[in-house]
């Protein structure tokens, strides 16, 4: 039997099984997965072995088996939107009163308070929210009260 160095053994394994991860090469050749990357470094620099990615796992293959990858794909974490804080105390007071009136089923009073809060709002989001709550109180308040037997 012919004696091969470890790198040549890995290249022959890639020729037989095709593109593979370090774990798959470990199972096939018996070399530890932690040593496969360093053993193939020179081969990847020379171009006799190419690297690619399968999700976030590195793949090794012979030229033509997979597209060469220069760098690991960049995964950008999801950006959380920051809630706009309002330092308009008058708006905060009016909107809190309106919310409490709405929770207490005082829909006429809540609609008026939501209108005041909308007039005091600074951001378009707050203005739209206050208007939608005012319309809700005017449109659905009477039917909610009828169903609850408050009229």
**Residue 83 in tokens:** 């809630």
What is the rounded average pLDDT of the residues 48-53? 81
Q: What is the pLDDT of residues 106-140, one digit of tens each?
A: 889 999 999 999 999 888 899 999 999 999 999 88
Name which residue leads in pLDDT, 71 or 42.
Answer: 42
Q: What is the pLDDT of residue 88?
A: 81
Name which residue leads in pLDDT, 1 or 128.
Answer: 128
- CATH number reported for the structural domain that contains residue 25 in this entry: 1.10.10.10
Residues 94 and 143 in one domain: yes
Q: How far apart are CA 48 and CA 11, in angstroms?
A: 8
- Total domain count, the chain: 2
Structural domain boundaries enclosing 47? 6-61
Q: What is the pLDDT of residue 111?
A: 93
Q: How far apart are CA 105 and CA 145, in angstroms?
A: 7
Residues 29/5, Cβ–Cβ less than 8 Å: no
Q: Is 66 helix (H, G, I), strand (E, B) or coil?
A: strand
- Of 21, 70, 65, 17, give the one whose Cα is nearest residue 45: 70
pTM of the model: 0.43
């Amino acid at each position: 039997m012919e004696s091969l160095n470890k790198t040549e053994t890995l290249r022959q394994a890639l020729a037989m099984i095709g593109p593979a991860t370090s774990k798959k090469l470990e199972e096939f050749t018996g070399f530890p997965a932690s040593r496969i990357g360093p053993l193939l470094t020179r081969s990847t620099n020379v171009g006799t072995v190419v690297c690619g990615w399968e999700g976030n796992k590195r793949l090794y293959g012979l030229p033509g088996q997979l597209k060469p990858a220069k760098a690991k794909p960049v995964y950008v974490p999801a950006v959380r939107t920051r809630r706009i804080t309002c330092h308009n105390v008058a708006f905060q007071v009016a909107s809190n009163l309106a919310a409490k009136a709405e929770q207490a089923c005082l829909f006429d009073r809540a609609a008026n308070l939501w209108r005041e809060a909308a007039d005091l709002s600074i951001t378009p989001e707050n203005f739209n929210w206050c208007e939608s709550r005012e319309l809700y109180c005017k449109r659905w308040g009477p039917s909610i009260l009828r169903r609850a037997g408050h009229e």
